[in-house]
Amino acid sequence: MNSRGLRLLATSIAFTWNIQRVMSLATSNTKPSPPSNIVVVGGGIQGTSVAYHLAQQVPSSTKITILEAKATASAASGKGGGFMARSWGDGTPTQRLHELGFDMYEEMAKELGCESYRKLPVLSVSPGYQGIKEARKNRQIDAIFPGWLDGKVGRISALGYGDDTAQITPKEFVDKMLENAGDKIEVVLGTCTGVETDQGSERGTRKVTAVKYQPRVEGSGETYVEEQVIPADCIVVSAGPWSCAAEDWFQGAVKLPMEGIKSTSIVWKQPQGVDVDATALFCGENNQFGTHLEVYPRPDGSIYICGIGGSDYITTEELKQGAFREICDANEARVDAARASFQEMSSLYKEEGELDRVQACMRPCAPDAKPYMGSVPGFEGAYCNCAHNCWGIAWAPACGKAIAELVLEGECKSVDLTPFDPARFTPDAQRGGRGRKQRGTNVGEQW
């Protein structure tokens, strides 16, 4: 071939490569089509946040359903303290969730009209006797010192002055998100029992087509109702500690080891005629009562207290069977200990204090204390958002935003989800992928 022919060939190859490159870029920059039917399993603050952020972006033709076993915010989201701290991340991958969640709460609380959101200072308080007199010599501490802290305490120091610590009553936040979303989100009461799937876009993968559930039965006298199906091309598992049941829904393609830490909390009524100062306390270990109290005054004048000690640890297998989903009673011995421990610190509540309620809930923990956030391998349209430990409420807006991005854009831009891979405890041989599997075991040709 002469030189002119070689130049023409080179030009042709370059032209063809450029066309292919442009087409490739165009394809890679094209967002996936939004799902038609999204089911979020779990109506707590995490699941509701996911549904809410999806509802802000999907077309009106997309149906979003929250499938909740009992009632929205009926577990930890209705019983948690709602404390958040922007700078309390420890440099690990979850630090971004602290920062983004904190910033989003301030914006969303205004948009949604939440009355319980506020920033508040925090003190560290050790057991002892003469700490108050010494602490109040410090002008900065004295300025945020709560009047109701008037009993026996030891050393006191400031953990924050209210610029990067805040609180919200989580149930109000859940209710406000649902109220704002209106008919964009439907809540269905029932317990998820599995998913239906079909052949995926690649050989050996599956795609979600429906979610199966057992409808909740209340007050009808019936004890059983036939299993129902919700059409779905997208499922987000966000059911707190009970999310580990999804191991079975996805045929062993993902392992979600989970421990439910069941703890008691108490809420004090506002003493009559008393303005309850808004300063939170993190208390040291009190060996006399076996407590390490966390004390959160709320805008309604009540005081929420957790850190009571004596927690119970619920296994993955117990959680799969629905342990403590319906009834989660307080430990009365720990209620007595918490009452006595707090009244030692506050003569006001020792003389005039009256408990409003006692309660218990579970926080969901993975073995490495990191959440499960991301796609289920081998299953198109399947995602996890669970195991958020003690920070699930604080991180809720950030997690909702992150999962919504992953579902609608195919990637998460606001948070690096790599460390939170739902399959990180799944043996490679069991991960979803090409080839048939029987209970996670390869069967037949695996391509």
- CA-CA distance, 135 to 157, in Å (whole number)? 7
Instruction: Of 378, 337, 39, give the one whose Cα is nearest residue 186.
Output: 39
pLDDT tens for the 447 residues of the chain, in order = 555 554 544 455 444 444 444 343 433 345 789 999 999 999 999 999 999 999 999 999 999 999 999 999 999 999 999 999 999 887 889 999 999 999 999 999 999 999 999 999 999 999 999 999 999 999 999 999 999 999 999 999 999 999 999 999 999 999 999 999 999 999 999 999 999 999 999 988 999 999 999 999 886 555 678 999 999 999 999 999 999 999 999 988 999 999 999 999 999 999 999 999 999 999 999 999 999 999 999 999 999 999 999 999 999 999 999 999 999 999 999 999 999 999 999 999 999 999 999 999 999 999 999 999 999 999 999 999 999 999 999 999 999 999 999 999 999 999 999 999 999 999 986 665 443 343 344 433 333
Looking at residue 414, what DSSP letter applies? S
Instruction: Of 54, 70, 73, 77, give the one whose Cα is nearest residue 185.
Output: 54
- CA-CA distance, 244 to 231, in Å (whole number)? 22
State the pLDDT at residue 85: 95
State the pLDDT at residue 105: 98
- Cα R_g (the chain), whole angstroms: 26
CA angle 257, 191, 199 (to 5 degrees): 75
Residue 425 φ then ψ, to 5°: -105, 10
Q: In sequence order, what DSSP letters do the residues of 182-233 get, joined into one string? A: GGGEEEEEEEEEEEEEEE-SSTT-EEEEEEEEEE---SSS-S----EEEE-S
User: What count of Cα atoms within 13 Å lies in the side-chain half-sphere of residue 302?
Assistant: 16
Contact at 8 Å (CB) between 293 and 346?
Answer: no
Residues 6+ apart with CB under 8 A from 33: none
Contact at 8 Å (CB) between 411 and 405?
Answer: yes
Residues 6+ apart with CB under 8 A from 430: 252, 253, 255, 437, 440, 441
Instruction: Of 378, 377, 376, 403, give the one whose Cα is nearest residue 388.
Output: 403
Query: CA dist 62 to 47, 163, 206, Å?
Result: 17, 39, 21
State the pLDDT at residue 403: 98
Look at strands 165-167 and 37-41 and give their pairing: unpaired
Residues 6+ apart with CB under 8 A from 74: 43, 44, 68
State the pLDDT at residue 89: 82
- CA-CA distance, 146 to 317, in Å (whole number)? 44
Query: CA dist 7 to 2, 19, 22, 436, Å?
Result: 9, 18, 22, 51
Burial class (CB in 10 A: 0-12, 13-18, 19+), 443: exposed
State the pLDDT at residue 201: 92
Reported as type and span, the H/E element at residue 249 is: helix 246-249
Instruction: Of 266, 307, 302, give the one whose Cα is nearest residue 124.
Output: 307
Q: 228: which strand partners?
A: 213
Burial class (CB in 10 A: 0-12, 13-18, 19+), 20: exposed
Helix, strand, coil tally for the chain in percent (to 5): 35, 25, 40
Tokens in use for 306?
């957790």
- CA-CA distance, 258 to 383, in Å (whole number)? 17
Q: Which pTM value belongs to this model?
A: 0.89
Tokens in use for 147?
């009047």
Contact at 8 Å (CB) between 84 and 105?
Answer: yes
Tokens in use for 399?
């997690």
Contact at 8 Å (CB) between 206 and 378?
Answer: yes
